[in-house]
Amino acid sequence: MSKANLPDTNGHFGPYGGRFCAETLMEPLDELLEAYERLKHDADFQAEYDKDLAHYVGRPSPLYFAERWTEILGGAKVYLKREDLNHTGAHKINNTIGQALLAKYLGKTRIIAETGAGQHGVASATVAARLGLECVVYMGAEDVKRQALNVYRMKLLGAEVVSVTSGSKTLKDALNEAMRDWVTNVDNTFYIIGTVAGPHPYPMLVRDFQTVIGREAKRQILEAEGRLPDALVACVGGGSNAIGLFHPFIDDEAVALYGVEGGGDGIDTPRHAAPLCVGRPGVLHGNRTYLVEDENGQIIETHSVSAGLDYPGVGPEHAWLKDSGRANYVAATDTEALQAFHDLTRIEGIMPALESSHALAYAAKLAPQMDKDKIIIVNLSGRGDKDIHTVAGLEGITV
Instruction: List interacting residues with another protein (CB under 8 A).
Output: 10, 18-28, 166-167, 172-173, 176, 179-180, 183-187, 281-286, 288, 291, 293, 295-299
Rounded to the nearest whole angstrom, what is the least distance from the CB of residue 278 to another protein in the complex?
A: 15
Question: What value, to the nearest 5°, has the Cα angle with vertex 153 and ends 151 and 155?
Answer: 70
Cα–Cα dist 227/80, whole Å: 16
Shortest distance, position 187 Cβ to another protein, whole Å: 7
Closest to another protein by CB, 14 or 167: 167
Q: Which is nearer to another protein, 171 or 353 (CB)?
A: 171
Task: For residue 317, give the nearest of 217, 242, 376 by alpha carbon.
Answer: 242
Taking the complex as a whole, the smallest distance from the CB of residue 42 to another protein amounts, in Å, to 25
Question: Which residue in the list 168, 357, 381, 386 is annotated as catalytic?
Answer: 381
Output the 3-class SS for the chain: CCCCCCCCCCCEECCEEEEECCHHHHHHHHHHHHHHHHHHCCHHHHHHHHHHHHHHHCCCCCEEECHHHHHHHCCCEEEEEEHHHCHHHECHHHHHHHHHHHHHHCCCCEEEEEECCCHHHHHHHHHHHHHCCEEEEEEEHHHHHHCHHHHHHHHHCCCEEEEECCCCCCHHHHHHHHHHHHHHCCCCEEEECCCCCCCCCHHHHHHHHHCHHHHHHHHHHHHHHCCCCCEEEEEECCCHHHHHHHHHHCCCCCCEEEEEEECCCCCCCCCCECHHHHCEEEEECEEEEEECECCCCCECCCCCCCHHHCCCCCCHHHHHHHHCCCEEEEEECHHHHHHHHHHHHHHHCCCECHHHHHHHHHHHHHHHHCCCCCEEEEEECEECHHHHHHHHHHCCCCC
Between 28 and 116, whose beta carbon lies closer to another protein? 28
357 is catalytic: no
Q: Which of 77, 83, 108, 114 is catalytic?
A: 114
Whichever of 265 and 301 has its CB closer to another protein, that residue is 301
Closest approach, Cβ 164 to another protein, in A, equals 11
* Closer of 21 and 332 to another protein (Cβ): 21
**Given 77, 81, 92, 104, which residue is catalytic?**
92
Active site residue 92: yes
Q: What are phi and psi of 380, to 5 degrees?
A: -85, 85
Between residues 166 and 369, which has the closer beta carbon with respect to another protein? 166
Question: CB of residue 330 vs another protein: minimum separation in angstroms?
Answer: 25
Closest CB 115 distance from another protein, rounded Å = 17
Can you name the residues that pair with 65 across neighbouring β-strands?
A: 79
Q: Considering the complex, what minimum distance in angstroms separates the CB of residue 72 from another protein?
A: 43
Neighbouring CB atoms inside 10 A of 288's CB total: 21
Catalytic positions: 92, 114, 381
